Amino acid sequence: MKKLPDQHIFKSELRTELRQRRALLDDIHRNILDTAINTHLVNYARQEKVKTVAAYLAFDGEPDLGQGLAELENEGVALALPVVHKIPGRNTISFHLWTADDTLEPNRYGILEPVNTPEVPLVMIDLMLIPLVGWDRAGNRLGMGASYYDRALQPLARQQRPVRTGVAYSAQETARIPVDPWDVPLHAMLTEHGWFTCDA
């Protein structure tokens, strides 16, 4: 049997721990935290005059951005959601326009995504809101392990746009996220406490 690299094992163990930590939040507390996160999101988008936001639909206990995204859509901000593409040996994602009236269908993971809407090129996105399992102050992100976002963002890893912003609860912060060469760091974090510019 092939032995997995220690880094992979470390990430897997940390992912399990942080998902359990997130799952412990009760509905009342979670709603309070989500309301705060959405308020910070809308305020930031207004302040920075954001025109296009790539977001996500909450899954597996992730912060629910529905309230904030609805407000931004009403104010004329264009929204996009990730769509998973099956490519032999290396699945990938792209981002497609989405409105509250659009049809959504579950992908292979059970996550809802737009159907037959135009793709939004990364260079047209001002703010990208990225779900995660864990994060650290240096801007390192621990996702679910498929590296979809890292592959999609690699061509723009040295660019300041889109603003790569992780979205999570403060309870998901950890001292150090293990980093692989292909990991793309975050510019900022959004939690119930507001916006945090990462050290990277």
- The model's pLDDT over 13-60, given as tens digits with 9 standing for 90+, comes to 888 888 999 998 999 999 999 999 999 999 999 999 999 999 999 999
Stated as kind and residue range, the H or E segment containing 150 is helix 148-153
Which pLDDT does position 1 carry in this prediction? 46
Q: Where do runs of H (alpha helix) occur along 5-106?
A: 6-23, 27-47, 66-74
Buried/exposed code over 110-135 (b: 16+ C-beta within 10 A; e: otherwise): ebbbbeebeebebeebbbbbbbbbbb
Which pLDDT does position 189 carry in this prediction? 98
Asked whether the predicted pLDDT for residue 5 surpasses 70, the reply is: no
CA atoms of 22 and 64, how far apart (whole Å): 13
What are the beta bridge partners of residue 131? Answer: 167
Q: What is the mean pLDDT of the chain?
A: 91
Which pLDDT does position 69 carry in this prediction? 98
Cis status, amide bond into 82, omega within 30 of 0 = no
* pTM score, whole prediction: 0.91
- The model's pLDDT over 69-109, given as tens digits with 9 standing for 90+, comes to 999 999 999 999 999 987 776 778 999 999 988 989 988 88
